[in-house]
Amino acid sequence: MDTLARIKDLATKELSLEPGKIDPNAPLADVGVDSLSFIEFMFKVEDEFGVKVSDEDLRKIKCLADLERHIAASLPAAGKA
């Protein structure tokens, strides 16, 4: 499964977003994800991908596509396969 598919999968489970209707570019705030749900979701993302997201980076992530780019940049080259 590629990174975005895994993110979508996690978002379906943790944020109760409807699978198949997830727009990676939609601001999470616009699809009913509040700040508390978002940071709890990011805690699970860190576990899932084995990455750490700094407070500064966290503030830049507004949608799932932002998150995918952040993870891709954080993972070592081998992890991108």
Q: Helices marked H in the chain — which ranges?
A: 3-14, 35-49, 55-60, 64-74
Cβ closer to another protein: 36 or 77? Answer: 36
**2/43 with CB nearer another protein:** 43
Residue nearer to another protein on the CB measure, 25 or 54: 54
Least distance to another protein from the beta carbon of 44, Å? 9
Residue 58 · residue 47 · CB < 8 Å:
no
The separation between CA 33 and the C-alpha centre of its own chain, rounded to angstroms, equals 12
Give residues in contact with another protein (CB under 8 A).
Answer: 13-16, 36, 39-40, 42-43
